[in-house]
A and B are shown apart, each in its own frame.
Chain A
């Protein structure tokens, strides 16, 4: 019994246990502070499902040996492109949502291939190059959103009639279509309606199901021959080369997969959020995903599906819970947003110091 407990601690890691403890304190503190727990917990679940895929995209990039994918916004832009096509042609419902994903995927495959070729040529500086490549492409696409021939009056600027709006509402298309799929809503089903704590609780089954399917597929992929080769190549490129593995080929595959998953991820994120955000919105989207997988115990060299799930649950629940709890305690407006910036970048900085230096060559 004692041994199992020790194994669990070793597996999760002491620092993560501290975070879990802190999260539990926050979760319990909701009750005495008079915050509606049902609603807050439902929010947590939604946020976990929303961000899950973006964190999965981060994982495969780490596994294939390309490190933290600072170029995540590139995949996100592909997804946004698919989404803008879907809204332009008024696609709606579940079909519309998957249509948007379907449009995004080929674009993401091509873009991901080119991006992988670039990263293979700048080994050792993937992070800086990826980051500034993503930043410049986000600003290039800002110009594209303005000049591409979108014509649906619902999505172009009202007066001039050209260029996409900064945010597109999905109310008439597929707003929360995954969230509502098989949703367990205590209010509608009449469960525990007399209980003041739990009457607003709901579980967005569809959203969680999608994330779960994504995780299972990724886990299964890691068990296949290709997955094992990818892990080997990412973990020790020199050794795998002697085994006859083409490292560049594996990296190309991994980065393409990362781009595609990010493209689907942003569509999932947006349908739950209810809006597509264009222009400078994707600029900073890689950082929360990075912080999430790192808090889940991944390093820039090694990541598992377990890290993804644990990380996204911890990071997103912390963020969701921190806002109301901080406001109830010290009534100081946006303090949780500031704390988010500090925690998120602090985690990334800490992870960067753990990358083994190349001796300053």
Chain B
């Protein structure tokens, strides 16, 4: 009995090894960097707020068995084009953001469909194709926005375009500037729409999460006739969050240090609401018929085909949804930054999002909402703390910078290797099983 329990603990530890390791790494780096707790918390909240949606966009392709979708770069571009256009048309503020996301959605649907069709041609190699497709798309994007805007596409706007003299001595506008600043009303439009002190928000969140937990448990016991233990397990995500928030609330009341750390922290309510809505949308999709199709295709394409599911179409739909969510994510991200680096903002989107998801403990074939948020928090703490820690440790911020890039690529490489091993082992086992069955049949 004791040994069994020990095994279980070991199993849990193994399952959560990556997040635990990164939590330790984060804590050590924070300690070394010597930054104050309130700085770390403020920075974390703002980074998680702007990156969460981009990482959520990766979940559906993972479920569909297409691996990590590096081609969300295309979605990010769609969002950027929306933002550039509203700056061009001077549609500012929240209406501007809405118009931008509409434009982004339309573009993302087109690009996502094309990506999905390409992915259907390269089944089994989606990840590397997605990455190369990202590079390819960057090239096409540059071609359009450096050379074609102003010359082929009629557009004149001195504010966002580069000017030059043509042969006749007239000023012409060709190509976009490297950095496009958003108008004052558009900058932080979503973040500043409704801000609230964390201290005041905490009790409300606590009540909210507790209420949802109770509702889910009550629903499971009342309607589905589950026992208490099972229904608590069904609501584990909300339950754990409630407990953590409760502990935080108690600490806030009792400890001066905690109170001080959270005192100036503000939470952008609208951003949080949008993130929650997108998450709920994804969860909702997984509960529908479409979501079940996606999961079935992810488990086994032959079985899915036999069950009458249109595999290719399902895969395209998953890619389109991922691309669309990524375009919204990039809009939230950029309005928080306040400007768009026209030719660089989208370059690393895929890599960073994928690395963050993997840090949360996800793998190539499995990802959950919990992993998304654990990963986002851990990865982005590391992301801003490692250069600071490197500066303290080696008096060279560059070293921390390289370390963070190494972590990013390293975690992706390790996950890919582990997944490949698992796949090969499963194949071997399947073949052995088949051989054994054949032998048994022969014996008979």
A143: which of B143, B406, B413 is its contact (CB, 8 Å)?
B406
Nearest chain A CB to B346 CB, angstrom units: 14
Q: Which of A133, A147, A341, A360 is packed against the most chain B CB atoms within 10 Å?
A: A360
Task: From A32-40, A119-127, A304-312, give the one contacting chain B.
Answer: A119-127
Nearest chain A CB to B424 CB, angstrom units: 7
Q: Is residue A128 contacting chain B, with contact meaning CB distance below 8 A?
A: yes
Mind listing 26 A-B residue pairs with CB under 8 Å? Answer: A122-B420, A122-B424, A123-B424, A124-B423, A128-B125, A135-B413, A136-B412, A139-B405, A139-B408, A146-B396, A146-B399, A160-B396, A338-B142, A341-B142, A345-B133, A345-B139, A346-B136, A349-B129, A352-B125, A353-B122, A355-B122, A357-B125, A359-B123, A359-B302, A360-B301, A360-B302
Q: Is residue A12 contacting chain B, with contact meaning CB distance below 8 A?
A: no
B417: which of A118, A135, A332, A355 is its contact (CB, 8 Å)?
A118
Using A122-B421, A140-B406 as known contacts, say yes or no to A352 and B122 having CB atoms under 8 A apart: yes
Q: Is residue A3 contacting chain B, with contact meaning CB distance below 8 A?
A: no
Hey, what's the 0/1 contact readout for A109-141 against B, CB within 8 Å counting as 1? 000000000100111110111011101101110
**Residue pair B132, A345 in contact (C-beta under 8 Å):** yes
Q: Is residue B128 contacting chain A, with contact meaning CB distance below 8 A?
A: yes
A70 to B409, CA, bound (A): 14
A334 to B145, CA, bound (A): 13
B 370-406 contacts with A by CB, 8 A: 396, 398-399, 402-403, 405-406
A123 to B131, CA, bound (A): 20
Hey, what's the 0/1 contact readout for A158-195 against B, CB within 8 Å counting as 1? 00100000000000000000000000000000000000
List the 5 closest pairs (A to B, CB-CB), nearest first: A341-B139, A122-B420, A136-B409, A342-B139, A132-B413
Nearest chain B CB to A277 CB, angstrom units: 16
Q: Is residue B309 contacting chain A, with contact meaning CB distance below 8 A?
A: no
Closest to B411 in A: A136
Q: Is residue A2 contacting chain B, with contact meaning CB distance below 8 A?
A: no
Q: Is residue B416 contacting chain A, with contact meaning CB distance below 8 A?
A: yes
CB-based A-B contact count at 8 angstroms: 135
A→B interface (CB under 8 Å) = 70, 118, 121-125, 127-129, 131-133, 135-136, 138-140, 142-143, 146-147, 160, 279, 287, 332-335, 338-339, 341-342, 345-346, 348-349, 352-353, 355, 357-361
List of B residues within 8 angstroms of A123 by Cβ: 420, 424
Nearest chain A CB to B187 CB, angstrom units: 30
Interface size on B, residues (CB 8 A): 46
List of A residues within 8 angstroms of B142 by Cβ: 338, 341
A135 to B348, CA, bound (A): 13
Nearest chain B CB to A111 CB, angstrom units: 15
**Residue pair B118, A353 in contact (C-beta under 8 Å):** yes
**Residue pair A357, B147 in contact (C-beta under 8 Å):** no
A171 to B121, CA, bound (A): 49
**Residue pair B417, A122 in contact (C-beta under 8 Å):** yes
A147 to B122, CA, bound (A): 42
Q: Is residue B219 contacting chain A, with contact meaning CB distance below 8 A?
A: no
List of A residues within 8 angstroms of B203 by Cβ: none
A39 to B405, CA, bound (A): 40
Q: Which of A147, A334, A358, A361 is packed against the most chain B CB atoms within 10 Å?
A: A361
**Residue pair B424, A124 in contact (C-beta under 8 Å):** yes
A358: which of B123, B127, B147, B403 is its contact (CB, 8 Å)?
B123
List of A residues within 8 angstroms of B302 by Cβ: 359-360
**Residue pair B413, A345 in contact (C-beta under 8 Å):** no
Closest to A340 in B: B139
A76 to B221, CA, bound (A): 62
Nearest chain B CB to A292 CB, angstrom units: 15
**Residue pair A345, B417 in contact (C-beta under 8 Å):** no
A142 to B128, CA, bound (A): 24
B 416-435 contacts with A by CB, 8 A: 416-417, 419-421, 423-424, 427
A127: which of B128, B403, B409, B419 is its contact (CB, 8 Å)?
B128
Nearest chain B CB to A343 CB, angstrom units: 8
**Residue pair B128, A70 in contact (C-beta under 8 Å):** yes
Closest to A355 in B: B125
Closest to B143 in A: A338
A115 to B72, CA, bound (A): 29
Closest to B354 in A: A132
List of B residues within 8 angstroms of A140 by Cβ: 406, 410
B133: which of A335, A338, A349 is its contact (CB, 8 Å)?
A349
List of A residues within 8 angstroms of B427 by Cβ: 361
A348 to B125, CA, bound (A): 13
Q: Which of B133, B136, B302 is packed against the most chain A CB atoms within 10 Å?
A: B136
**Residue pair A345, B136 in contact (C-beta under 8 Å):** yes
**Residue pair A357, B123 in contact (C-beta under 8 Å):** yes
Closest to B401 in A: A142
